[in-house]
Amino acid sequence: MGSASDLRFLARSVVKPKPGSREFEKLLLTGFDFRSLKQSIFHKRVLLFDTSKEEDGFDFELCSKKLKETLAITLDKCYPFAGRLVQEEDGTLVFLSNDAGVEFIDAASPVSISELLGNDSFQFEERLCPDIPFELEQLAKGGGGSSAAAAVPILAAQMTRFDQGGFAIGVTFHHGASDGTSVFQFLKVWAEISRGDEVSSPLDFSSRAQLLNLTPHTTDSQLSTTSEIPKMFTTAPLFGAPEVELPQQSEAAMKILFISLDIEAVNKLKLKVQEDQKEGVASFSSYVIITALMWRASIRARQLQEDEETRCFNAVNCRGRCKRLPENHFGNAAFTAIAAAPAGHLLENGISFAAKLIAKSIKSVSGEYLQSMSNLMEQVKLQKSVLLADFRPPHDVLVVGSSHNPSAECDFGWGQPLALKSTFMEAPLSALIWCPRHRVTGTLELIYKATPAVADAMLIDPELTTFAKVESSEVV
């Protein structure tokens, strides 16, 4: 559902903050940002709002006007989002706080908002977020940042009104500027300003300097040997090389699996994990045990040899794990925790075995470890290179996203959103995406991208379907 003809673009404008001096006119990219910049991925978030209870009808024009006005105020407080990513004359990549503004699109659609609550709307949801044209190489060609073509926007927004009632707010963020946590922190600030409330937790831009000061910045700093790169990681030039961490495989046919577990199913799975443990009873989070369940199911579907290594890559939010990374840190602050095992061991030892591996890998991302890896990323960055997890589908699984549902924090003055959706089409094959928990029922929802053969095998996987409801898209 939802073809190109189902969306009408009504107007385009540029929202800018009030002119003024900025505390940080330039923000240098950290090693965390470099990793995300290499992937050339955009965060897209869609918030769906129901207006059916408005007795006197809903004024979409007034809604659009209010969103633009409050976005301008938000950008005044979060000014880097109104800037541009540029390469300076000396080759340094920076976020330039030049108040160039954020594109805001007004659109309309005949699609019913109820149609967007199902699983078959995922391709149309992508169009509810504006595109930010970007190729990594354009930065390499734009030294000095004077060329408009070489200055990359960080944020774009779109309001789509539905002819049958309701509207959507869609935002697109450049992943080189922020991770998913920063995206929601920005939305929270915008929503508070839109409601007329005080900003409870402004974004912290100064903490970026703390990361950059971990390592002395000397231009002749070089890694002496490749042995300094930890196992399961690799390096790649920022410009001119394939995107080795996240192979998109855009030409490959794939299916999308939609996995859901209600509260009863999660409790049933936790009980099973407790029964499986041979020594002691460890307590695992829902995230760990469900990820373990999915890892095992995907490996069974791929029919790996018993001695073939499989790895589960988990994106870990590092805020709070390191003193230099406060909870409201602006930018990228996710690092990769890697669990590994021979396929035979993973499948022979039960869900609890996989859960222990995942929990141990996440626990290893300590403050001390992060400081060490931050140092390494800054050294690699000086060579215009990036430190990447050596992700290799189909043997590996990449886990991203979060079950946290910030709907209560995203009330822009018209009530909490009916649903909050994270688009995922840019994620690679073998990616497991955690979606926000259902706001009313508490059901946990995940998305898995796989080849048709793997998806079909997982649809009938006995262990997975014992605990989870699994549905599939058509081949896309």
Question: What is the DSSP secondary-structure string of 146-209?
Answer: -SGGGPEESEEEEEEEETTS-EEEEEEEETTT--HHHHHHHHHHHHHHHHTPPPSS--BSTHHH
Query: Mean pLDDT, to the nearest integer, of 258-270?
Result: 95
Ranges of H-type helices in 10-159: 31-39, 60-77, 122-126, 136-140
**Paired strand residues for 69:** none
pLDDT, one tens digit per residue, over 291-325 is 999 999 999 999 999 999 999 999 999 888 877 78
Mean pLDDT of 363-378: 88
Instruction: Tell me what pLDDT residue 57 has.
Output: 78
- Mean pLDDT over the full length of the chain: 86
**Choice between 240 and 167, residue whose per-residue pLDDT is larger:** 167
Residue pair 469/260 in contact by the 8 Å Cβ criterion: yes
Task: Inform me whether the pLDDT recorded for 220 exceeds 60.
Answer: no
Strand 102-109 and strand 155-162: the pairing is parallel
Q: Are 463 and 284 in contact (CB under 8 A)?
A: no
The 10s digit of each residue's pLDDT in 15-29 is 999 988 788 888 888
Give residue 375's pLDDT.
86
Higher pLDDT, 412 or 440: 412
Band the pLDDT of 407: cuts 50, 70, 90.
confident
